[in-house]
């Protein structure tokens, strides 16, 4: 029998050392120069190599906003005789929605033939039927879908991210799912894989965030919030409604008003329609007590999300400056808090 000579230290070699050395010999060997090149690429983050390194390390490369998004930075060309802001009152939600859109130029002002349209309502929970005013009125949403299709849209998709329950159950309970299907639109469950880390060039509090890709690449985005109170924001209207298209919205709350404004600077919805058929006057955003609901039979529309939101504050006995997110968005030059009376059309049906 032969005996292996122990090493000079007198200790036997650790088990498996030869096999580990063998495997390591087959791995790629990097010099300090190679490492610095890879690190530089990761820091740059703007090249393919940089993105690959970030992905390999578990990071997320920040992408530039889609080039097509630049078209939203300017309002759609005005139509002769159209109002800057429309406020329509009446007992029929569909009729007042149609009248409001027509007053600000008609849906063809916002939707070109063949356009890919996304409608963003507030569908925050699956625990409230429409009469509780926690979610956007289904007739208002369906009317916007039908108008977009009549204007020649290629497709119209409707989406949100509920914080209460699943998207599927919230779409059903809110009545929006059935109404949209009847109007010819499509409800979309937002995929966790559908978000990109996107630069926010004008951001003051945040300079990038994970935003739903399809919203950024759509030809037209219609923002259709329900007017209601909110514990942190005061009111949730068109500006805040856009938080439903980001991943990790809870991260906004450390600087909520400015971060909402920063998001608006990126997304720039072409049309905002505030559903105030019923408004939630207390215990928002999810409510739950019909005593907190007030019927106002009103819809407000504008190409300017700030102007639409500012007008909606009056329904709660407030002013635009009482809602910090509206003031912050206006301070960035993204809309008007005050619109001359001659540019407002008030209609009663």
> Could you tell me the CATH superfamily of domain 67-348?
LarA, N-terminal domain (3.40.50.11440)
pLDDT band, residue 13 (cuts 50/70/90): very low
| Tokens matching residue 172 | 């059903």
**What pLDDT is attached to residue 76?**
86
pLDDT band, residue 59 (cuts 50/70/90): low
Residue 83: CB partners within 8 Å, gap ≥ 6? 103, 104, 343, 344, 345
Least confident span in 31-40, 82-91, 126-135, 188-197: 31-40
Task: Flag whether pLDDT at 29 surpasses 60.
Answer: no
pLDDT band, residue 330 (cuts 50/70/90): very high
| Tokens matching residue 128 | 């409230």
On whether the CB atoms of residues 224 and 265 are closer than 8 A, the answer is: no
Q: How far is the C-alpha of 122 from the C-alpha of 141, rounded, in Å?
A: 10
**What pLDDT is attached to residue 231?**
87
State what percent of residues in the chain have pLDDT above 90.
77
**What pLDDT is attached to residue 286?**
87
What are 71's strand-pairing partners?
none
**What pLDDT is attached to residue 71?**
77
Task: Flag whether pLDDT at 127 surpasses 80.
Answer: yes
Q: Mind giving me the DSSP string for 169-229?
A: HHHHHTSHHHHHHHHT-EEEEPPGGGEEEEE-TT-SS-SEEEEEHHHHH-SEEEEEPEEEE
Range 69-87 average pLDDT: 88
pTM for this one? 0.83
pLDDT band, residue 78 (cuts 50/70/90): confident
Residue 194 φ then ψ, to 5°? -90, 5
The domain ranges of the chain are 17-56, 67-348
Residue 85 CB-density burial (10 A; 0-12 exposed, 13-18 middle, 19+ buried)? buried
Task: Flag whether pLDDT at 55 surpasses 70.
Answer: no
């Amino acid at each position: 029998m032969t005996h292996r000579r122990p090493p000079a230290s007198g200790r036997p070699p650790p088990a498996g050392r030869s096999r580990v050395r063998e495997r390591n010999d087959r791995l790629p060997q990097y010099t300090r120069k190679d490492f610095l090149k890879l690190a530089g690429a990761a820091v740059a983050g703007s090249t393919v190599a940089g993105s690959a390194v970030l992905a390999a390390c578990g990071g997320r490369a920040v992408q530039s906003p889609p080039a097509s998004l630049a078209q939203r930075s300017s309002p759609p060309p005005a139509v002769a005789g159209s109002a800057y802001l429309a406020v329509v009152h009446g007992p029929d939600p569909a009729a007042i929605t149609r009248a409001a859109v027509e007053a600000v130029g008609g849906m063809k002002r916002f939707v070109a033939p063949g356009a890919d349209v996304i409608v963003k309502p507030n569908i925050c929970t699956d625990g409230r039927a429409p009469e509780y005013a926690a979610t956007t009125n289904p007739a208002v949403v369906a009317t916007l879908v039908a108008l977009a299709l009549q204007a020649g849209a290629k497709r119209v998709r409707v989406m949100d991210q509920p914080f209460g329950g699943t998207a599927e159950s919230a779409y059903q309970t809110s009545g929006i799912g059935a109404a949209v299907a009847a109007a010819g639109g499509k409800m979309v469950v937002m995929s966790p894989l559908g978000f990109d880390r996107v630069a926010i060039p004008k951001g003051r509090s945040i300079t990038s965030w994970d935003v739903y890709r399809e919203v950024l690449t759509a030809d037209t985005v219609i923002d259709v919030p329900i007017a209601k109170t909110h514990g942190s924001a005061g009111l949730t209207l068109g500006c805040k409604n856009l938080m439903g298209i980001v991943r990790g919205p809870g991260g906004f709350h450390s600087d909520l008003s400015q971060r909402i404004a920063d998001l608006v600077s990126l997304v720039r919805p072409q049309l905002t329609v505030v559903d105030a058929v019923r408004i939630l006057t207390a215990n928002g955003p999810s409510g739950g007590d019909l005593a907190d609901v007030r019927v106002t039979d009103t819809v407000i529309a504008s190409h300017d999300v700030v102007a639409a939101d500012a007008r909606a504050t009056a329904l709660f006995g407030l002013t635009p400056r009482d809602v910090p997110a509206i003031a912050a968005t206006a301070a960035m030059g993204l809309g008007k808090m005050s619109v001359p009376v001659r540019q407002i059309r008030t209609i009663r049906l």
